[in-house]
Structure 1
């Protein structure tokens, strides 16, 4: 099975990749379209030359690998994707062939976390419009509603929520997903030294998140707009109390 996990930045996405990588049956791929995005968008990001030197920059080749053979003789292929990496010129027909999951997080938490790491974000930086647009595209193309899970629910009760997520995907739950070795993963992208130092220190999911943070007044319009997209997606999320 090929699993595409669609997430914005600062959304627990790397910890989720490590969780799936801890399964004996799962290969993982870290942000397949990040290098093509940088090459064709004109954006300047940290470690850009190192990324181009290590990662595939041809979006067509990346797309083919996303639906191609699963590496390392595994039965699951977990792909950590960012919707805002998917430029309009990139192939998209492959997406409907995967099991698509959307990982969301309250925008106030995302904005606060992003600002601490990389300066104040724009709406496109946090990826919520792109998530919502891709969600609707998948619904239209497949006539199925993708799976949605909230990162805060996972941190509140990792075992229960990961079990529910695995059930929704159609795979067996294993407690191996709760722990991983600190220090990163061999599948980390070339950008990991800049973006992942904190999660490299972890060996499992962090404790439940604190209350939703206050956002400075000048960022309130950004939060208000982001909330409309988050609310759309949150309506479909796996409920913590679901059986």
Structure 2
């Protein structure tokens, strides 16, 4: 089994990696396509050979143990062929752009709207829904932080898997997958579980471009949230 979780940038998805690692029944792969994505961006002639090789390796590993892949949607959209989506159970972790985009801007001042990930999430969601004829499992990030037991239970039960709620608590520390990207994962590395968001974001403090990105991405978030296993609509 391959369980894909398609995300937008923010530390909550990395905390989900920690939970999956704590479960122990999955081989956890955090952003396995990231380095290949960096090599491909900016090229006029794109070769997808490296992406295909990574997919083949992950598929091979899944014959030995279940594989969990946490990946940013924009890292694979337009680069990876249907074999990745066909081989796996595809799920989505969505985030309110009023929270995720200011956070992205703090880390990456020159982000593009592709970096924000919302358009890629929507593209993958609709592609997978059309191909399979069923709605992919969606988790809302704020609902997850507010009530992790309920949301995690709903997520895994929708997949026919044991929620293993003991995994909602884990030890602090990093993961090998984070090498070279530690600054993006500090919050998750210091965490021991999902906690409610206490952050108060004053959007007026951010540049106009950030607020415009939020306005354009908010309808996508609200649309995907209407399909959430808990806390949507």
Please give the TM-score of this superposition, normalised by the length of structure 1: 0.84
CA distance in 1, matches of 2:216, 2:105: 17
The yes-or-no answer on 1:9 pairing with 2:9 is: yes
Aligned residues: CA RMSD: 2.3
The yes-or-no answer on 1:124 pairing with 2:114 is: yes
Query: Per-residue CA shift, 1:69-122, capped at 9, x if unaligned?
Result: 338x54x31100111112524323321221111000100101111122222533
CA distance 1:149–1:213, change in 2 (3 Å) = farther
Structure 1 residue 239: Cα displacement: 2.1
**8 A Cα contact 1:11 1:103, kept in partner:** no
SS of alignment partner, residue 173 of structure 2: coil
CA distance 1:129–1:230, change in 2 (3 Å) = same
CA distance in 2, matches of 1:155, 1:14: 13
The residue number in structure 2 matching 1:159 is 149
Structure with bigger helix share is 2
SS of alignment partner, residue 27 of structure 2: strand
The residue number in structure 2 matching 1:232 is 223
The yes-or-no answer on 1:136 pairing with 2:136 is: no
The residue number in structure 1 matching 2:37 is 37
**8 A Cα contact 1:182 1:203, kept in partner:** yes
CA distance 1:189–1:42, change in 2 (3 Å) = farther
Residues 48-127 of structure 1 mapped to structure 2, 5 A cutoff: 58-70=50-62, 74=65, 76-119=66-109, 121-127=111-117
Report which stretch shifted further, 120-129 or 106-115: 120-129
Structure 2, unaligned runs of 5 or more:
44-48
SS of alignment partner, residue 80 of structure 1: strand
Query: Per-residue CA shift, 1:35-85, capped at 9, x if unaligned?
Result: 110111139xxxxxxxxxxxxx811111112322338x54x3110011111
The residue number in structure 2 matching 1:190 is 179
Q: Which of these residues, 203, 209, 212, is aligned with residue 192 of structure 2?
A: 203
Please give the TM-score of this superposition, normalised by the length of structure 2: 0.88
CA distance in 2, matches of 1:210, 1:38: 31
CA distance in 1, matches of 2:216, 2:134: 26
CA distance in 2, matches of 1:158, 1:119: 31
